Amino acid sequence: MFEIYVNQAGYLPEDRKVAVICQESAGFTVQDMQGNVCYEGKWNYFGPDALSGDTVWQGDFSAIKKPGRYVLRCEKGESATFLIGENAYGKLLYDVLRAFYYLRCGCALEKEHAGVYTHAACHTGIAVEWDNPLVKKHILGGWHDAGDYGRYVTPGAVALSHLMYAHMLYPAVFEKLKMNIPESGNNLPDILNECKWEMDWIVQMQREDGAVYHKHTTAHHAPFVMPEEDTAQLFLLPVSSMATADFCAICAQGYRVFKEYDKEYAAKLLAAAKKAYQWLKENPEFLGFKNPDGCGTGGYGQRDDLSNRWWAAAEMYTATGEAEYLKDAMAQFETLHFHLSLGWGDVAGLGVMALMTCQYPVSEAWMTALKKEVVEAAEKFVSIADGCGYNCAMVEQNYGWGSNMPLMQHGMILALADLVEGKGRFRNCMLDQLHVLMGVNAMGISYVTGNGDYAYNYPHLRPADADGIDVCIPGMVSGGPNRRPTDGYAKELGLFPEGTPPMKCYYDDVRCYSLNEITIYWNSPVVFVLAAALNK
């Protein structure tokens, strides 16, 4: 634990750089690894900060632009070391993107690509329908969702969408990025190779009639064993309208992305999307999802499917330019309680991203209104961040299960606002959210494994525990602080006495799934924000 908090990955040379300390100190120096003083700075008193419970001083060292590895020091202590340079986020981006490779299901992870984190092929059995075991389907692939081994359609579609939009909006960042995955060197950028792994799984989740199974899991979460040892019967859980709508949206988006590289594959995705859309039209009522008796894997239930249907319509229009989809999208939009949300449940923000990238005509008044939503949300985040000693754009309610998701989604929205406006006025605030994730937070911790001198290391992630290797697989993003942990251990351990500030409701322990699990949709927005940061 360090006394001075910095982004433990580092900073791009031209960006703002602000460290935090929570005790009074005369001033600080920035030193290189030889101990040479490169800069002397002063702490500026920020004052008491509500959500961390800390009294905060900030120290600006933006003046240092020379590439190198540095550390901050003062008479009260020091910071983690960090990089300044164009490549400050190189390892981080590589690791958070490669996390998806480590989560691949249905194949072995070989030494050549996985290093020490190998395992044999997993979840290769034949799945049966939960309600009718006579219906059997051999579905293979996808990413494990999280600390558990399930494959779920709605979160899978959302993570895919974040990654594919990162590539679509910031292609230069990924052009030459080689990920050392089995497909590296073919004609696709590696980020799309990784996406294809999930896409190939998701298309198998569609039923003959166009509807889409909600999830592909065992009846209960496996014990903490390696994935290939989780050999319990696999099930296809009932179809839901959310899964069908998200499936439709992601296949339509996939069509746009893959048609540049593989027309046949893209056409297959569009056909699947159309079939799902047809089912949605014929089944306009909400078909939600609740775990049936005897099933205990993740629920991913929702109260309605309005945002999912709107995302689907928006992606279908953007993919095809057919007027009927736009008409549907506009009608769906009217029924929504619109939130610019990019999560596994409310996906309305992804519909906005579809229309923002649409080549076909969309009414100017409507586009103006949608863009205004983005810019106003970003302005709100700036004002929240200005009121926080850590420059964090989060309110108390955001500190729930997986709080690093709103943190990074706010970063995504700040990036989108800059795309909409083209003035760059939200860049600092967007980067601040990344800095929070990477160490400028009340725990002084990096929430990405293997990245930073003081990074968390014990996620609730089955293989990371079962492999017997103490150093965790790198690039895994923790769910992060949760002011109302629901797992037994957090309670049993008496971790957070009444009044613990939300930003401090965190503990690095494998047992604490409501504080320290990982998921694909907590990693994917980090990839997006990093791409925005690097796209200059």
Active-site amino acid positions: 148, 460, 508, 517
Give SS3 for 491.
helix
Q: Which of 241, 267, 239 is nearest to 255 (CA)?
A: 267
* Cβ at position 217, least distance to ligand 9MR in Å: 9
| 151-152 vs 213-217, strand pairing mode | antiparallel
* Cβ at position 50, least distance to ligand 9MR in Å: 24
* Cβ at position 145, least distance to ligand 9MR in Å: 5
Decide whether 52 or 291 has the Cβ nearer to ligand 9MR.
Answer: 291
Query: Using an 8 Å Cβ cutoff, are 455 and 428 in contact?
Result: no
**Alpha helical stretches, state H, 422-519:** 427-437, 462-466, 488-492, 513-516
CA separation for the pair 433, 475 (Å, rounded): 17
From ligand 9MR, Zn ion, none, which one binds at residue 28 (CB under 5 to 8 Å depending on kind)? none
Decide whether 108 or 375 has the Cβ nearer to Zn ion.
Answer: 108
Q: Which of 92, 86, 22 is nearest to 59 (CA)?
A: 22
From Zn ion, ligand 9MR, none, which one binds at residue 501 (CB under 5 to 8 Å depending on kind)? none
From Zn ion, ligand 9MR, none, which one binds at residue 519 (CB under 5 to 8 Å depending on kind)? ligand 9MR
* Cβ at position 281, least distance to Zn ion in Å: 34
Decide whether 41 or 150 has the Cβ nearer to ligand 9MR.
Answer: 150
Q: Which two tokens stand for residue 371?
A: 């863009």
Residue, CB closest to ligand 9MR = 298
Task: Name the one range near Zn ion by CB under 5 A: 61-69, 224-232, 320-328, 501-509.
Answer: 224-232
Count of C-beta atoms within a 10 Å radius of residue 423? 9
Rule CB under 5 A: which of 105-124 touch Zn ion? Answer: 105, 122-123
CA separation for the pair 33, 30 (Å, rounded): 10
Decide whether 142 or 389 has the Cβ nearer to ligand 9MR.
Answer: 142
Q: Which residues bind ligand 9MR (CB under 6 A)?
A: 145-146, 148, 150, 298-300, 401-402, 513, 517, 519
Query: Using an 8 Å Cβ cutoff, are 413 and 374 in contact?
Result: yes
From Zn ion, ligand 9MR, none, which one binds at residue 198 (CB under 5 to 8 Å depending on kind)? none
From Zn ion, ligand 9MR, none, which one binds at residue 105 (CB under 5 to 8 Å depending on kind)? Zn ion
| 127-129 vs 234-239, strand pairing mode | parallel
What is the CA 287 to chain-centroid distance, rounded?
Answer: 26
Give exposure, 267-305, as e/b (b: 16+ Cβ within 10 Å): ebbbebbbbbbebbeeeeeebebebeeebebbebebebb
From Zn ion, ligand 9MR, none, which one binds at residue 261 (CB under 5 to 8 Å depending on kind)? none
From Zn ion, ligand 9MR, none, which one binds at residue 517 (CB under 5 to 8 Å depending on kind)? ligand 9MR
CA quadruple 91, 522, 338, 167: dihedral, nearest 10: 40
What is the CA 248 to chain-centroid distance, rounded?
Answer: 20
From ligand 9MR, Zn ion, none, which one binds at residue 148 (CB under 5 to 8 Å depending on kind)? ligand 9MR
Count of C-beta atoms within a 10 Å radius of residue 264? 8
Query: Using an 8 Å Cβ cutoff, are 445 and 506 in contact?
Result: yes
Please tell me what DSSP assigns to residue 533.
Answer: H
* Cβ at position 411, least distance to ligand 9MR in Å: 18
Is residue 227 close enough to count as binding Zn ion by CB under 5 A?
yes
Give SS3 for 264.
helix
Over the window 389 to 428, marking each residue x when it contacts Zn ion by CB under 5 A and - when it does not, the resulting string is ----------------------------------------
Decide whether 97 or 520 has the Cβ nearer to ligand 9MR.
Answer: 520
Query: Using an 8 Å Cβ cutoff, are 78 and 71 in contact?
Result: yes
Task: Name the one range near Zn ion by CB under 5 A: 129-137, 172-180, 219-227, 265-273.
Answer: 219-227
Please tell me what DSSP assigns to residue 73.
Answer: E
Decide whether 406 or 444 has the Cβ nearer to ligand 9MR.
Answer: 406
Is residue 464 close enough to count as binding Zn ion by CB under 5 A?
no
From ligand 9MR, Zn ion, none, which one binds at residue 122 (CB under 5 to 8 Å depending on kind)? Zn ion
Query: Using an 8 Å Cβ cutoff, are 439 and 433 in contact?
Result: no
What is the CA 191 to chain-centroid distance, rounded?
Answer: 14
Decide whether 286 or 401 has the Cβ nearer to ligand 9MR.
Answer: 401
Query: Using an 8 Å Cβ cutoff, are 12 and 62 in contact?
Result: no
Decide whether 391 or 524 has the Cβ nearer to ligand 9MR.
Answer: 524
Give SS3 for 31.
strand
Decide whether 156 or 210 has the Cβ nearer to ligand 9MR.
Answer: 156
CA separation for the pair 74, 406 (Å, rounded): 33
* Cβ at position 291, least distance to Zn ion in Å: 20
CA separation for the pair 155, 307 (Å, rounded): 14
Query: Using an 8 Å Cβ cutoff, are 277 and 312 in contact?
Result: yes
Q: Which residues would be at the binding site for Zn ion (CB under 5 A)? A: 105, 122-123, 227
